[in-house]
Structure 1
Amino acid sequence: MLSIGEFSNICKVSAKTLRYYAEIGLLLPEVINPENGYRYYSIEQLEKMLLINRLKSYHFTLEEIKGLLERDDSPEKTLYLELLKKKRELEKQLQDFEKNLDQLKGDIAELRQGKSLLSYLEHIDVRLVEVPTMYLLSIRKMVQEDDFPSEYRNCFGRLFRRITEDKLTISAPPMVLFHSSEYTPTGLDTEFAIPIKEFVTGTRDFRPGLCLKTVVYGSYSNLTYVYTRQCEWAEKEGYENTGALYEVYVTDPSQVSKESELITEVYYPVKKRPQKEKTNGTRKSESVGSVNPEGL
């Protein structure tokens, strides 16, 4: 048997941590002396402690580790599957860190050249276009922020199955419309839609009309910058929003090998803001010249 001090020294885990592990039921001492409360661990428990340390190094929580160690049915298979799952999580985190590092390097280079950290907003192209009416086959629901990846798969999967079963004709790439102006406790009012040629049960007319349009190449994380740029453009040029912002996914993310190959169109429905009258009754002239939308 090993005293808590000896066990602590061999495993490089503090006695305080071992007491906490015992408190939460993760690793109980083999024996506790009833007279003095001294704790003792068996030699066999060394391997269990090594396994706990190994899983912690893979960023498993103590609760997850406890659940794995308590599994009696196919523990090795369960551990194998959980390690595969954690591997995918860490690979995703690594990709995110690499992306953040590249962006950080770019920001440092911009500042070194005396440019603003947000100077890239000036290079986001915003165009005024007229979007024709279309028929949408869609699913509208409240979606929590963390649920968007799974809802994209589920909702578009259901829509594509309906299109296949009813032999409908897709007329444009899939899109998502955001009807909420902000997040609420129940989520974001979101509509997953696919334009089709036929008007059938479950479809609706969609008349976006005049819109600001920006084509985005690359990661979906860049879309937030586009929203900001479009709002600034509309304010400067005298336009105001008239409907739900929506995104059109020109490329299927499951069909590209890297994020840089993604193409997304962002649309922001607008109308010209009414001119304010001067006190003498004449209308104030516009601060900018007229803009001819594409397609008009």
Structure 2
Amino acid sequence: MLSIGEFSKMCGVSTKTLRYYDEIGLINPEEINPGNGYRYYAVRQLKKMLFINRLKSYHFSLEEMRVILDLEEDLFEEKLRSALLRKSMEIQDKLKAYEYILKQMSNDITSLDNGIPLMSYLDNIDVQLVETQPMTILYIRQMMSSHDYASGYGSYFGKLYEKIAVNKLTMLGTPMTIYHSPEYYPSGNDTEFAIPIKELVKGSRDLPGGLCAKSVLKGSYSELTSVFAKLREWVEQEGYELVESPYEIYLTDPDQVTRTEDLVTEVYFPVKKK
């Protein structure tokens, strides 16, 4: 048997962390001395602790690790492989995001070296006044926290695509997101996921057309806040006011685009003259 200190040293995990892992049921000591409360681990538990360390190094959360450790033995290898593939894809997405950030930082440094103000890129965002046509949209409306957006988009659009396929509906456009909350709430925002269709069916509604301030973003979705800011500034300067919820239309499928720069998103602000 190994004392908690010896086990800690062997695995490179602090005794405080081991006690916490015991509290949440991730890995429990083999034996606890009832007299003094000392904790002891079996040598065979080193393998389990090293496995936990490896999952942690792969950025699995404690809850994700617990789910894996609780898997039935006959399903363990298969489910573990699926979990590793999923986590690998998440890390690849993060790597792409960091690559984009590094490229953006490099461009900003070059601009500053050339005496160009950092935020001058806002001046290059084009805004047009357009008249949109009414459409019928199949939609799902949901409260979404900032942490839910990345996974939520694919999930809810997937449900809409499935409903279109099952009911043999006719798509008339690409996916769109409508933002109904009057301000940004980190805990959750009123978000509507929609796809334009021909038929008026249960779960669909009419989206009115009208005058809109429109801009097109070519690049990362992280730049959408810049487009929103530019549109809001334009609306104010040109004497208009926002009359309906702003929305985005995704002209490209992120799963089909290899470079972030190839993403194309239209942003619309429904407006009227003051």
TM range (shorter): 0.7 to 0.9
For residue 93 of structure 1, what is the aligned residue in structure 2? 94
For residue 221 of structure 2, what is the aligned residue in structure 1? 220
Tell me, which stretches of 5 or more residues in structure 2 are unaligned?
none
For residue 126 of structure 1, what is the aligned residue in structure 2? 127
Q: Residue 173 of structure 1 contacts residue 195 of structure 1 at CA under 8 Å; is this kept in 2?
A: no
For residue 158 of structure 1, what is the aligned residue in structure 2? 163
Shift of 1:122: 0.5
For residue 104 of structure 1, what is the aligned residue in structure 2? 105
Identity %: 45
For residue 277 of structure 1, what is the aligned residue in structure 2? none
Give, as a single letter, the amino acid of the residue that structure 2 aligns with 1:271.
K
Q: How many residues are paired up?
A: 266
Q: Deviations over 1:97-135 (max 9, x none)?
A: 22222222223333333333321110001112223x333
Shift of 1:229: 0.5
2:24 is aligned with 1:24: yes
Q: Residue 137 of structure 2 contacts residue 207 of structure 2 at CA under 8 Å; is this kept in 1?
A: no
Q: Residue 179 of structure 1 contacts residue 191 of structure 1 at CA under 8 Å; is this kept in 2?
A: no
TM-score normalised by the chain length of structure 1:
0.76
Over 3 Å counting, the alpha-carbon distance change for 1:189 and 1:53 in structure 2 is closer
Q: Residue 29 of structure 2 contacts residue 39 of structure 2 at CA under 8 Å; is this kept in 1?
A: yes
For residue 149 of structure 1, what is the aligned residue in structure 2? 154
For residue 188 of structure 1, what is the aligned residue in structure 2? 190
What is the 5 A alignment of 1:166-177?
166=169, 168=170, 170-177=171-178
Give, as a single letter, the amino acid of the residue that structure 1 aligns with 2:131.
E
For residues 271 and 264 of structure 1, the distance between their equivalents in structure 2, rounded to whole angstroms, comes to 23
For residue 42 of structure 2, what is the aligned residue in structure 1? 42
For residue 136 of structure 1, what is the aligned residue in structure 2? 136
For residues 206 and 79 of structure 2, the distance between their equivalents in structure 1, rounded to whole angstroms, comes to 49
Give, as a single letter, the amino acid of the residue that structure 2 aligns with 1:99.
Y
For residue 64 of structure 1, what is the aligned residue in structure 2? 64
Q: Residue 143 of structure 1 contacts residue 187 of structure 1 at CA under 8 Å; is this kept in 2?
A: yes
For residues 241 and 176 of structure 1, the distance between their equivalents in structure 2, rounded to whole angstroms, comes to 17
For residues 57 and 34 of structure 1, the distance between their equivalents in structure 2, rounded to whole angstroms, comes to 34
Over 3 Å counting, the alpha-carbon distance change for 1:18 and 1:183 in structure 2 is closer
TM-score normalised by the chain length of structure 2:
0.81
How large is the RMSD of aligned CA atoms in angstroms? 2.9
For residues 217 and 82 of structure 1, the distance between their equivalents in structure 2, rounded to whole angstroms, comes to 33
For residue 209 of structure 1, what is the aligned residue in structure 2? 210
Structure of higher CA gyration radius = 1
Give, as a single letter, the amino acid of the residue that structure 2 aligns with 1:152.
F
Shift of 1:140: 5.0
For residues 30 and 191 of structure 2, the distance between their equivalents in structure 1, rounded to whole angstroms, comes to 55
For residues 103 and 114 of structure 1, the distance between their equivalents in structure 2, rounded to whole angstroms, comes to 17
Over 3 Å counting, the alpha-carbon distance change for 1:143 and 1:37 in structure 2 is closer
Shift of 1:236: 1.1
Over 3 Å counting, the alpha-carbon distance change for 1:242 and 1:19 in structure 2 is closer
Q: Residue 180 of structure 1 contacts residue 190 of structure 1 at CA under 8 Å; is this kept in 2?
A: no
Tell me, which stretches of 5 or more residues in structure 1 are unaligned?
274-296
SS of 1:118's partner is helix
Q: Deviations over 1:7-48 (max 9, x none)?
A: 333222333333333343333333344454443332212212
